[in-house]
Chains A and B, each alone.
Chain A
């Protein structure tokens, strides 16, 4: 470096803190802002504050109801993932396209109005460096927690499960676009872990002011891509992904200007001058460090542990209790009798089953050439009951029917219920999406099977499903959810007695969804897949 250039840089090199300490107290040592910048800041302050504060009573209710002594990963996840105040109530159709951003627009209008009033009232302030610091803290922590919550479900790969047998047997064209993308990540768990590491890393970088810019840049790139993915595949969460893009763009805006000056204009550049609070009292500094360390301990270390438990024993998108071990596998339907009448195999037959699977967990699927109303949801959420975990059926067509079963392993009887709630007419909301909130449970009644379709003796043999998974993940949230997730009474049902020695041949006898008598002989087949098996399996079955 030449002598003159070195001098150049030494003169410019005045650290922010010394500016702050040496200058007049009134301005915090910072230059006056232009009127334009002050007005813009007031609007931005109100806007981002509304965007970053939980705006639904549910979030606060959840926060106080958490049983910290017996916690579920989702308890932390729900702290991280919340919605800000919604000025416009949106229907399920708003999941698509730019309509989803309407709340941003209204929030901005509100911010402009409040910012205008503020501008009229506040004539004294020369700058908002201090307030800007605190706004950045709020945005940084909001973005950091949000992305960490998201990231952990990938870092311990449960967000996109490896396809079940039923999904492996389904033709590509019978999936929704959303399903295709989610599965394409699900088949490569190590890659999913990598994307999780990137997201969690971005979040952790945002927690420290020195690494904020790098975290924000990473977040911008990653979530920008995810927003486009959601638009491209109709994933339905482009607004939430864009939300992080917005937050990180806010954090980066002044740095980008500096980078532009440094790299493109090739100028000697001073860093953005920012206010940092200087804590005078020792307890203040301790409190700051304590709060930060506490947040990291809970939302990084503990969260990791809880998510690990979830990965090992209760992967949240797939059923977690194991199915009848002897039955697992792929089957061909050798014989099919309905009301004692044999129906020969034809791929076009609208009644006879084809390709049957018994999954590792308690699910039976079969294919039949008859259209059904499809579950077009993402198959996510936080259901605890295996019957409500619908990743294996949502976004899946091609005549694939998916039944959850409870097994009386003493009487060898399966009590099956359709996992696809769209087949219960009243369950389909606008947009074809099953809308849990809009459901009126009281009026439901099953016209086919009686209320006590599982005899009490069988119920005793089946046992309490709450405790059918590893004790370490039977936590308060799970126990509570088994009470609050009310059964949908009008689900399609079947009762099938199974008879098998080792699973190579299974004879099913009983009644189908119309309570017609069924006699099915299944023979296990070796169905090789070209797709490599997962090297990392979630759950224990």
Chain B
């Protein structure tokens, strides 16, 4: 018995328009899902498996074809649909002249296999980012000290998710579960239904929060819809019409040993790489190098919020002011090597609003993405001369560099002296503010703050 000519007991009759639709969807999804770009495979081959970072697997998992350079656009979908329509028409015409027709049950089955695995890949990788709180970490000290209106809607969405780790883990567990359900033919529809409920949500929230992933999430939603359609009619018959139903039992003949083994190896390999290994790497990423939090340690025992008690510019003491764009208002030393400064000086927004997993601190811009009100500086410490070399982290302010010597008369005071981004001499006295945050203190007991 040939693998592609299946005469199973459960194969079904296909009407002409159904065949035409399937031909179109087969080609359309094939273009949308299967990477045809050699660079993609080169990228995969470049992965160092002995020292795997979860981003090495996450970034390729977001693949879909782009016919246009620049940002995402639905025009890519239109091109794919156009190619698929032309291809399907040609295929239909050509097929009539053939004696042996392809088996459409088989075709449908394999299309669903491809889509199930594509969708599973998308939700499992995202799910693990949530399970291990990598996607939306708890708000940084700088974020806690930023005005609500100084965030973009996308950033608020992410910060709000990060503020409730239980909720984020829950969403992650749902996504991973749905993804695993998709790997099995019998549970695929349940998985697809869960994704429609949750990722459908992600799509709409991406639109609403002006996030950068609305096209990608709709891409996943469309796949889930196609997969769920397989059992939808049956479920309506069972639950709404209250009539007896026959399951969709078709599956290709896997009785030959080499087929059985190949199937087992591919499926096992997928689970091993994207569930087991990716899960472990995501966990170790959380422990050692989460992509949204820099890892270089900051100045020892300095983490905290500081009031700018005194600010001397070119020997001129500037008083506290609302309007002054030069004088700093407050300063946050993060536990890692970031200093953020609140001032009136306008921030040109770094508007990264999609998930890209970076490995080194230079690539990590989450803390400042979508946030105004504060300038963020990474820094290096020269411990011999007690000097901080500050670099503005924002790509629009990348040329701003400050060199500041620090003295610490006591644990709560830091005095910075040196040159600011305009090469003016500054002397800045920082006094620790032992601020308590309602978000952290909680609402379960009376609070006087």
Contacts and interface: CB of A to CB of B under 8 A. Distances in A.
Interface of A: 1-2, 4-5, 8-9, 12-16, 93, 96, 163, 167-178, 180-181, 183-184, 187-188, 190-191, 194, 210-211, 213-214, 217-218, 221-222, 225, 228-229, 231-234, 255, 258-259, 262-272, 274, 332, 344-348, 371-374, 376, 395-399, 422, 428, 431-432, 525, 527, 529-532
Contacts of B113: none
A263 B445 contact: no
A196 B297 CA distance: 45
B52 interface: no
Contacts, number: 257
Contacts of B439: 172-177, 180
B437 A214 contact: no
A308 to B, nearest CB: 21
B387 interface: no
B317 interface: no
Contacts of A346: 320
B245 A262 contact: yes
Contacts of B145: 171-173
B9 A2 contact: yes
B358 interface: no
Interface of B: 9-13, 139, 143-153, 156-157, 159-160, 163-168, 170, 186-187, 189-190, 193-194, 197-198, 204-205, 207-210, 231, 234-235, 238-249, 307, 319-323, 329-330, 349, 370-372, 435, 437-440, 442-449
Identify the interface centre among B190, B330, B437, B440: most chain A CB within 10 Å of its CB: B437
Given A171-B144, A171-B147, A214 B240 contact: yes
Given A167-B148, A346-B320, A376 B448 contact: no
A15 B242 contact: yes
Contacts of B438: 173-176, 374, 395-398
A270 to B, nearest CB: 5
Contacts of B186: 263-266
Contacts of B443: 176-178, 234, 376, 395, 432
Contacts of A228: 166-167, 170
Contacts of A163: 148-149
A213 B239 contact: yes
A368 B124 CA distance: 47
Contact of B153 (A13, A211, A259, A532): A532
Contacts of B165: 232
A373 B448 contact: yes
A378 to B, nearest CB: 9
13 contacts: A93-B444, A96-B444, A168-B148, A172-B143, A173-B139, A175-B439, A177-B442, A190-B207, A229-B164, A232-B168, A266-B249, A399-B449, A530-B372
Given A2-B10, A171-B144, A259-B238, A234 B442 contact: yes
Contact of B190 (A8, A170, A171, A263): A263
A345 B144 contact: no
Contact of A268 (B163, B241, B244, B448): B244
Contact of B166 (A211, A217, A222, A232): A232
Contacts of B209: 187-188, 191
Contact of B150 (A96, A187, A398, A530): A530
A376 B149 contact: no
Identify the interface centre among B231, B249, B447, B448: most chain A CB within 10 Å of its CB: B447
Contacts of B190: 259, 263
Contacts of B245: 9, 262, 268-269, 271
Contacts of B10: 1-2, 5
Identify the interface centre among B9, B10, B246: most chain A CB within 10 Å of its CB: B246
A531 B371 CA distance: 9
Contacts of B246: 1, 5, 8-9, 268
A172 B144 contact: yes
A266 B148 CA distance: 52
A267 B320 contact: no
Contact of B13 (A1, A167, A225): A1
A332 B322 contact: yes
Contacts of B370: 530
Nearest to B351: A530
Given A177-B442, A181-B160, A263 B187 contact: yes
B156 A531 contact: yes
Nearest to B346: A528
Contacts of A374: 438, 446-449
A392 B231 CA distance: 48
Contacts of B321: 345
B244 A9 contact: yes
A162 B110 CA distance: 48
Given A171-B147, A263-B186, A184 B160 contact: yes
A210 B437 CA distance: 50
B164 A176 contact: no
Contacts of A258: 238-239
Contact of A169 (B11, B148, B197, B440): B148
A228 B166 CA distance: 8
Nearest to B11: A2
Given A2-B11, A173-B145, 9 more contacts: A13-B244, A232-B168, A258-B238, A345-B320, A347-B307, A431-B445, A431-B446, A530-B372, A532-B152
Nearest to B165: A232
A179 to B, nearest CB: 8
Nearest to A229: B167
A241 to B, nearest CB: 13
Contact of B447 (A217, A348, A376, A532): A376
A15 B243 contact: yes
B445 to A, nearest CB: 6
Nearest to A221: B197
Contacts of A176: 438-439, 442-443
Contact of A170 (B139, B147, B208): B147
A12 B237 CA distance: 14
Contacts of B244: 9, 12-14, 268-271
A398 B307 contact: no
A397 B449 contact: yes
B397 to A, nearest CB: 16
A221 B380 CA distance: 48
B319 A344 contact: yes
Contacts of A529: 149-150
Contacts of A96: 444
A178 to B, nearest CB: 6
A351 B329 CA distance: 19
B213 to A, nearest CB: 15
A304 B242 CA distance: 32
Contact of B148 (A172, A264, A345, A371): A172
A532 to B, nearest CB: 6
Identify the interface centre among A167, A234, A263, A371: most chain B CB within 10 Å of its CB: A263
A432 B9 contact: no
Nearest to A12: B244
Contacts of B146: 171-172
Contacts of B205: 188, 191
Nearest to A428: B446
B12 A531 contact: no
Contacts of A395: 438, 443
A178 B447 CA distance: 15
B239 A169 contact: no
A432 B11 contact: no
Given A13-B243, A234-B442, A266-B186, A347 B149 contact: no
B149 A432 contact: no
A211 B243 contact: no
Contacts of B239: 213-214, 255, 258-259, 271
Nearest to A6: B246
A350 to B, nearest CB: 13
Contacts of B249: 266
Nearest to B196: A221
Given A184-B156, A211-B240, A266-B249, A1 B197 contact: no
A26 to B, nearest CB: 23
